[in-house]
Chain A
Amino acid sequence: DAKTTQPPSMDCAEGRAANLPCNHSTISGNEYVYWYRQIHSQGPQYIIHGLKNNETNEMASLIITEDRKSSTLILPHATLRDTAVYYCIVRVGGIYNTDKLIFGTGTRLQVFP
C-alpha cells in the first residue's frame, strides 16, 4: 500500500507557482521522498527526490519538513505542459538500492491559462 497522502486534484494559473503537498507521516529514517509525474497516456517522468534536505533542480524544488512527515513539491512557474498527475512516493533510497516504487493515487494538477 502507498505510504503517502495527496489531495486528489489542484488547479494553478499559468505562470504561478504550483505547490503540491504530500503527507508521509510513517516515513522511516532510511526512506527517501520521490516525485514523479505522468502526463496523459505517457510513462511517468522522474522529477526530484530527497531525504531530509531541501532539493532543487531544473524542474522543481522539494521542501521536506524538519520532522520529515510531509513535503511540498514546488513548480516555480507552472505552464500548460505541467498539467499531469503528480505522484509522491516514499521508498528506501540511496545508491545500490533498487527497491520498488509503489504508486498511490496522486494529485491531478490542472494548469489553466
Chain B
Amino acid sequence: GAVVSQHPSWVICKSGTSVKIECRSLDFQATTMFWYRQFPKQSLMLMATSNEGSKATYEQGVEKDKFLINHASLTLSTLTVTSAHPEDSSFYICSAATSLGETQYFGPGTRLLVL
C-alpha cells in the first residue's frame, strides 16, 4: 500500500509553546489529508479535513485557531498545535487519500506530551 510518514514520531513540550507535526505522502499525491486525535483507550476522532490549496474543514468542537492546518502541496500537510496545554497531550494521526479517493492510508502517528 501507499506510504504516509509523520514527523516527529513523538514530542515533549512545555505548556504554552507551539508544536508542528508534518504529514507526508511518500509515493503518491494526496489531494486530501485528514487529521485525527486519539486519547488513551479511545477510538480515533477526526479533527479536520484538508484539501491541497484550500482551507481545512474542521469537525464540530475542534478549535481552528488552536489547531492550524496547512496543506500547501500534494504531498505535505502540517498540523500546528498552538499554545499547547497538558490536555492537548494525545496521539495525533494523519491520513492521506489517493487521487482516486478510494482508500485512505494512515501515518504512524505522533505522540505529543505537554508538560
Contact = CB atoms under 8 A, between A and B. Distances in A.
B106 A45 contact: yes
A30 interface: no
Interface residues of B, number: 27
A96 B102 CA distance: 7
Interface in B29-79: 31-32, 34, 36, 43-46, 49
Contact of B93 (A43, A96, A106): A43
A43 B109 contact: yes
Nearest to A49: B103
Contact of B34 (A36, A41, A100): A100
A101 B101 contact: no
Contacts of B93: 43-44
Interface residues of A, number: 24
Q: Which of B32, B46, B104, B109 has the most CB of A within 10 A?
A: B104
A46 interface: yes
A109 B4 CA distance: 25
Which 3 pairs, one residue from A and one from B, show the smallest C-beta to C-beta distance?
Answer: A43-B106, A98-B32, A98-B101
6 contacts: A34-B103, A43-B4, A43-B107, A94-B101, A95-B100, A100-B46
